[in-house]
Amino acid sequence: MPKDLFIDIFDHRNPPIYKYYDGENWSTSLSGKLTEIISPVDGQIVGKIQQVAFAEVDRCLDRVKIAQKEWAKVPITKRTQILHLAADWMREHEHFLSTLLMAEIGKSYVESRDEIVRSADMIEYFSHEGLNMRGEQLSGDAFPGYDQTKIAMISRVPLGVVAAISPCNYPINLSVSKIAPALITGNGVIFKPPTNGSIISLYLTKIFLTAGLPKGLLATVTGSGSILGDYLVTQHDVNMVAFTGSSEVGEIIAKKTGMIPLLLECGGNNPALVLPDADLEVTAEEIVKGAFSYSGQRCTAIKYVICLSGTDEKLLPLVLKKTKALFKMGDIRIETNNFGPVITDEAAHKIEKALLIARAEGAKVVLGGKREGRYIEPTVIIDAKPHMEIVHSEIFGPILSFITVKSTEEAVNIINSSKYGLQVSIFTSDEGTGIKLAAKLETGSVLINSKPQRGPDHFPFIGIKSSGIGVQGIKYTLEAMTRFKPVILNKPH
């Protein structure tokens, strides 16, 4: 890596102190306050970030608002070139970014590298699809009572300033999924990264700038989400909020923002419904990967399994066997370890508490259940009931519960009674039965014979109820970040 590429975003103290990007310069905050970013891997300080003040957010918004007006005039082919260069820079520094991601949020190197590669691909796909966005023309004679004297020329125009707020579990991918479509459609962006994930997000910002993004168009402000994020979403110069995070925070944003477009990707508490005719070997592997990848810290993770009596007795031993075979807990800097820590001590404590409550309510731990600091073993629970907190609340960690039911109707009722509605997996050898069951489920997406997942990234990704607002996916996000603008001509007779 060229040593001068990232040199202006931090000073060379040990640990380094990172600056924020105010739209024009890398700056230290007037607040004088810093937040230490602690690695969940070993407890060491990765670096310190600025706690940006409200007045500085205001100045960033002013700059982005002005720069966006000019950016909207830039031909989309030029915007596309810049985004392609950003993807190239990301690939050029893939190893450095993957290693930093591993240290900052505790992902394995393989998972970290996959996120970087996927994000570079996503930037390019947004660029390609952006070139294909079209307006349309309508004639007045298509509606009764009108003739051909009126023609509507309908174009798509940017919304203005997009507030992009991303989570700690995919700080690059779920930042790119907001920043790239906003930029390609002519918007400006004020970017609030997660606390753990701020450092790599600052490097992402530098990559976009190195690719040629004009000054003022992207500002990256760091600090507490509950303070800075709350302030940001209520500012009148913000024309859209694109957020990924918990359902609780998403609901707060929805209440505070007023009449602006929202794209909210919130919590998921995803079940796997296993029918008696399912291929149990395949089912067990999909469930285990779906439940325990990145220590269960994904909105798309499987949180509970619903089986008919008899099926659970056949499936459970396979799940236990494959969990032991697929995951090895330990320091993820060691190549043989692929199951790392949860993000913070607070998160680990919350998961441990939920597990203790489940045991007190009658659930039984048949695998795992132990905690060492931020490390929590892959844990499998049986005799879970729908009323238990560990089932009806999203536990953002490596816990998988088994529920036994007497009928598929009972299973459907349990799933539909959830306040969440992100994804459901159905496992069956009869796809027709799976499709019929899918029609009964109140959820954003149904996956048949597959674990829940966000991609492929050009598919629609939808959360209903407390799981979100709006539709994501390459084409759908681009559409969400633009609006129709009709110009209606009245031709003389």
Contact yes or no for 158/185 (Cβ under 8 A): yes
Intervals of CATH 3.40.605.10 along the chain? 7-266+471-485
Choice among 60, 168, 266, 299 that is catalytic: 299
Residue 27 CA to residue 477 CA, distance in Å, equals 31
Instruction: Check residue 2 and give its pLDDT.
Output: 43
Buried b (16+ CB within 10 A) or exposed e, 379-401: bbbbebbbebebbbbbbbbbbbb
Contact yes or no for 273/447 (Cβ under 8 A): no
Structure tokens belonging to residue 467: 């799981």
Q: Pairing state of beta strands 161-165 and 188-192?
A: parallel
* 265 catalytically annotated: yes
Domain 270-456, CATH number (from 3.30.360.10, 3.40.630.10, 3.40.50.1820, 3.40.309.10) = 3.40.309.10
Instruction: Check residue 259 and give its pLDDT.
Output: 93
* 299 catalytically annotated: yes
pLDDT beneath 50, residues of the chain = 1-3
| Residue where the block lists tokens 């450092």 | 199
Instruction: Check residue 225 and give its pLDDT.
Output: 85
Contact yes or no for 236/204 (Cβ under 8 A): no
Cis peptide before 193 (omega within 30 of 0): no
Instruction: Check residue 1 and give its pLDDT.
Output: 41
Residue 149 CA to residue 278 CA, distance in Å, equals 61
Sheet of 136-139: strand order equals: 136-139, 150-158, 482-490
Single-letter code of the amino acid located at 233: V
The three-state secondary structure class of 392 is helix
Structure tokens belonging to residue 412: 């459907």
Residue 102 CA to residue 100 CA, distance in Å, equals 5
130: which residues sit within 8 A by CB, 6+ positions away?
Answer: 76, 79, 80, 181, 184, 185, 478
Angle, CA 86 vertex, CA 84 and CA 89 arms, to 5° = 115
Whole-structure pTM value: 0.95
Intervals of CATH 3.40.309.10 along the chain? 270-456
455: which residues sit within 8 A by CB, 6+ positions away?
Answer: 118
Choice among 104, 265, 285, 479 that is catalytic: 265
Structure tokens belonging to residue 39: 């690695």
Q: How many CB atoms lie within 10 A of CB 136?
A: 11
Contact yes or no for 65/83 (Cβ under 8 A): no
450: which residues sit within 8 A by CB, 6+ positions away?
Answer: 286, 425
Single-letter code of the amino acid located at 433: T
pLDDT tens figures, 370-392? 999 999 999 999 999 999 999 99
205: which residues sit within 8 A by CB, 6+ positions away?
Answer: 9, 21, 191, 218, 220
Instruction: Check residue 4 and give its pLDDT.
Output: 61
Helix (H) or strand (E) holding 243: strand 240-244
Instruction: Check residue 3 and give its pLDDT.
Output: 47
CATH topology for 7-266+471-485 is Aldehyde Dehydrogenase; Chain A, domain 1 (3.40.605)
Residue 166 CA to residue 225 CA, distance in Å, equals 10
| Residue where the block lists tokens 């439940």 | 291
Helix (H) or strand (E) holding 59: helix 54-71
Single-letter code of the amino acid located at 421: G
| Residue where the block lists tokens 């997660």 | 194
Beta bridge mates, 233: none
